[in-house]
Structure 1
Amino acid sequence: MTASEGPAEAGGVVDALEEHLLGARPQLTQREVAEQAGVPLETANELWHLLGFAHVPDDAVAFTPADVRALQLTSDLIRLGVLSQDRQDGLVRTWGRSFARLADWQVALLASVATEMGSDATEGLLAVSDEVMPRVEELQSYVWRRHLLSASARLLAERSSGTASMLAVCFVDIVGYTSRSRTLSDRELVTWLEEFESAVLSLTVDRGGRIIKNIGDELLIVTDSPEAMAEIALELTRRGADPDDPFPAVRAGVAYGEVVTRLGDVFGPVVNIAARLTSVARPNSVLVDVGTYEALTGHEDDDADHHASDHASDHAGGYRFRRLRRVSVKGYSRLKVWSLLPVVPDK
């Protein structure tokens, strides 16, 4: 709301957007929506909450026929066995989180564009709903289908091989994020983080990896091969150490092994170890676990007490490893850890 825009004007914009985006003004209570969809009221309330929306009294007129259709579709998926009870919470909650974040970003972006064009909130946001949203919706559907194809291909490859999902997992953390964030405005901080994520995304995708999620100033990345992850982690720390590169200094922890994937996220000890290694890594360094070390070198660790000695690998891209003293972190005592180093070119 701008200084010249009162509650009545802002409310009018919301009412108009509601009609544009949902196809009608609110005309139904939640009880009426549940009845028309043939869904128990308790189920309707639960799904509404899981999607991340605020509680609405049963007698409040806050819904449209679009909400009835959404409940009918959900009921169909349950009837078809796609959404069993144990899958409903996770899937619907994931939708709610993902779309809420996406919507916040899109509205902020488009409102900023409208302001730059000299439009007020009413004209700008209504123009967005008329001109931009259909195109955004179509593009989102295309991107979603493309990712469905990629995810399906990965699943089929795993099923045909008959093995568990073996992934390299890496957490990348910005060094000095707290102190840097204090010197930036909200807009500058968002821009800085988006530029960081964009740079990491480009590097990751080029090497066949995927960004699973961001957690504040930290990104979680996975790749199918440890070699690809080693390249990604070393390039990120190299850029962060370059004083002429605006990319921030980072630290990284990499682990390799069996990983459980569910609803686009990853779980298991391998993920936890990667996170713990990142927390103890020095700025501009990459720490790896025993799984990564063995995968990149092609031989098993002999568990000898090689404190801070170098082991050159004759494959895996020619990386060097420096064995570090074992570390104890939350949940894991005396982890085997190596510092991953690029090979210095011969002069």
Structure 2
Amino acid sequence: MGGRETSGRPTAEQIEHTFVGSPPRYTRVQVAKMAEVPQDLTERIWRALGFATLADDAVAFTDADVAALKRVRAMMESGLLDDRAVIRMARALGQTTARLAQWQAEIMIGAMLDPAQPPTDADLAAILETSRQLLPDFEQVLIHVWRAQLAAAGTRLLAIADITEEVVPTRVTLAVGFADLVSFTRVSRELDERGLADLVEGFESRASDVVAAHGGRLVKTLGDEVLFIAADPRAAAAIALELVDAIQRDGPDVRIGLAYGPVLPMMGDVFGTTVNLAARLTAIARPGTIIIDSGLADAVTGAPGTEVTRIRRRPARGLGLVQPYVLRRA
């Protein structure tokens, strides 16, 4: 297609040419041989990136694939990365970009198609042509944002290292929060598909904005629930208080559990007893309330604009009796 508009239904070859460029020329055996990377490692990288294993005679790899594998080989030969690090990097790249690509495709389709009408071949061709026009600029923006996020991640690690004396600590002390939409199952039955999508996207976007505004990090979203972290417990409290206000303005109630303690960061996620405790506190919380643990209560007591109230001890599955507190605005 390469710059020429078409009114016919786009083919798989046209889509691949638009986004990848060079056509497939090589089998998986040939691409490994040309890049001088062992065949088994090439296949492990391909699977880690999230792509299916192809037949030996399937022509599916391009010159760009060869060039990318040569770069991987150069990093390994220089001693910068070993096999294990390469596979972990490939998995992180594959999972993140797969979600990004799917999300972007859905945004483009939603912006350009009338949901009440079935798409025509011309509609699909127009989406592909618009994507082709936006691709160069978006590629540059993507690289810029990725570099900025790397800088932010590096800054966070330095701040943690100042406390723990470890650049990449096995455990760090963080505030962990879960925010959960109340009665999501019931509400979802009352909405059509578009209404449900708007509800979930609105919740996730508002949560993302609030968390970022206070210097926290949104770890993951689970439809009716978000998980966030913050190095500063008072920032986590501010996030929770603002989230309750922001979500309630749109109708549904939200409940939040916060805990402060050691966590294990791994694969962009966080694990450990503190994370489990935050989840259990969320289950205890009533609609529109924030329940925190004693660690976070100690850290935020006396902070301007906040009020901490001790309530009766509760059993938490897998954790025994816990001492919860209610966090409110003063």
Q: TM-score range by the shorter chain?
A: 0.7 to 0.9
Q: What are the Cα deviations for residues 236-275 of structure 1, in whole angstroms up to 9, with x where unaligned?
A: 223444xxx2152111110112333334322222222112
Q: Give 2:125's aligned residue.
A: 123
For residue 327 of structure 1, the aligned residue among 301, 311, 314 is 314
Stretches (4+) displaced over 6 A: none
Query: How far apart, CA to CA, are the structure 1 residues paired with 2:38 and 2:9?
Result: 32
For residues 82-93 of structure 1, what are the structure 2 equivalents within 5 Å?
82-93=80-91
Q: Give 2:296's aligned residue.
A: 292
Q: Give 1:199's aligned residue.
A: 206
CA contact (8 A) 2:203 2:247 kept: no
Query: How far apart, CA to CA, are the structure 1 residues paired with 2:185 and 2:70?
Result: 46
Distance apart, 1:67 and its partner CA: 1.5
Q: What are the Cα deviations for residues 174-226 of structure 1, in whole angstroms up to 9, with x where unaligned?
A: 11112222233333322221221221222222222221111221111111211
Letter in 1 for 2:172: S
Matched position secondary structure for 1:28: coil
Letter in 1 for 2:317: K
CA contact (8 A) 1:114 1:120 kept: no
* RMSD of aligned residue pairs (Cα, Å): 2.4
For residues 51-66 of structure 1, what are the structure 2 equivalents within 5 Å?
51-66=49-64
Normalization by structure 1: what TM-score? 0.83
Distance apart, 1:325 and its partner CA: 2.7
Query: How far apart, CA to CA, are the structure 2 residues paired with 1:120 and 1:12?
Result: 9
Q: What are the Cα deviations for residues 78-109 of structure 1, in whole angstroms up to 9, with x where unaligned?
A: 33344334434433222211111110111122
Moved more, 186-195 or 41-50: 186-195
Query: How far apart, CA to CA, are the structure 2 residues paired with 1:10 and 1:95?
Result: 33
Q: Give 2:270's aligned residue.
A: 266
Query: How far apart, CA to CA, are the structure 2 residues paired with 1:107 and 1:71?
Result: 27
CA contact (8 A) 2:44 2:87 kept: no
Normalization by structure 2: what TM-score? 0.87
CA contact (8 A) 1:208 1:228 kept: yes
Matched position secondary structure for 1:278: helix
| Greater relative CO, 1 or 2 (CA 8 Å, sep 6+) | 2
CA contact (8 A) 1:320 1:342 kept: yes
Q: Give 1:187's aligned residue.
A: 194
Query: How far apart, CA to CA, are the structure 1 residues paired with 2:8 and 2:187?
Result: 35
Query: How far apart, CA to CA, are the structure 2 residues paired with 1:44 and 1:79?
Result: 15
Q: What are the Cα deviations for residues 118-165 of structure 1, in whole angstroms up to 9, with x where unaligned?
A: 982442233134211111111111111111111111222222344563
Distance apart, 1:167 and its partner CA: 1.7
For residue 151 of structure 1, the aligned residue among 153, 159, 162 is 153
| Structure 2: gaps (5+ residues) | 1-6, 166-170
| Identical counterparts, % of pairs | 37
CA contact (8 A) 1:111 1:124 kept: no
| Structure 1: gaps (5+ residues) | 1-8, 298-314
Q: Give 1:72's aligned residue.
A: 70
